[in-house]
Amino acid sequence: MTSPAPLLIPLLIGSVLLMQVSCDVEISRTRRLSKILGFSWENCGKPADPAVLKALSLSPDPITIPGDLTASASGSTSVALVSPLSVNVTLDKEVAGFWVKIPCVEEIGSCHYTDACDILNQLIPPGQDCPEPLHTYGLPCHCPFKAGDYTLPQSDFYLPNLDLPFWLTNGNYRVQGVLGNMGKELGCLKVSLTIHSE
């Protein structure tokens, strides 16, 4: 589903689902994710929201897993993003032409995460260098994220094998996440994609 400020929102919204699976979530039956296709995104926040994703590009389409991914992103925040940085995620699946909300199961699905900063600290322990290419470009991967503009130039990543819960079946999905702090909305992003698993 990985995190500088421009990638913070998509990371925590579009990829929080995948992140949590890869962080040793115990699930009795799994499916191997093989492809992601039709990825698209849009800001869904209020005009005054301080955190905005300006650009996000992923290729190829479809994205094959395991395999290589090329990504670039840019975004800005007019306020510092500090702990506690809450994320409210709504995950819907298209079923027979209708969108059905998937409940929160084992911290995956339509869940409320009280502090994304804690999740980042679990993924990348404080004091450890940020992973490449963030380190090369001087992009942060821990809270607080200072106010300003952030850009990740086109970069290549390798996506390893990833197991999904058995109930996360093939189909069309949309994920909406609202980033907040102390009850105030900071930004909102909506991601649509299709997944294929084996």
- Is residue 18 within 8 Å of 36, Cβ to Cβ? no
Q: Is the pTM of this model over 0.85?
A: no
CA–CA separation, 24 vs 19, rounded Å? 9
Q: Does residue 1 surpass a pLDDT of 50?
A: no
Q: Which residue segment(s) compose the domain that 44 sits in?
A: 5-197
Number of domains in the chain: 1
For residue 129, the cross-strand partners are: none
Q: How far is CA 53 from the centre of its chain?
A: 12
Task: Check which CATH number belongs to the domain holding 53 and give it.
Answer: 2.70.220.10
Q: Does residue 118 surpass a pLDDT of 70?
A: yes
* pLDDT tens-place string over residues 43-88: 999 999 999 999 999 999 999 999 999 999 999 999 999 999 999 9
Reference 63, options 155, 156, 152, 159; nearest CA is 159
* pLDDT tens-place string over residues 157-187: 898 988 888 777 899 999 999 999 998 999 9
pLDDT score recorded for residue 57: 94
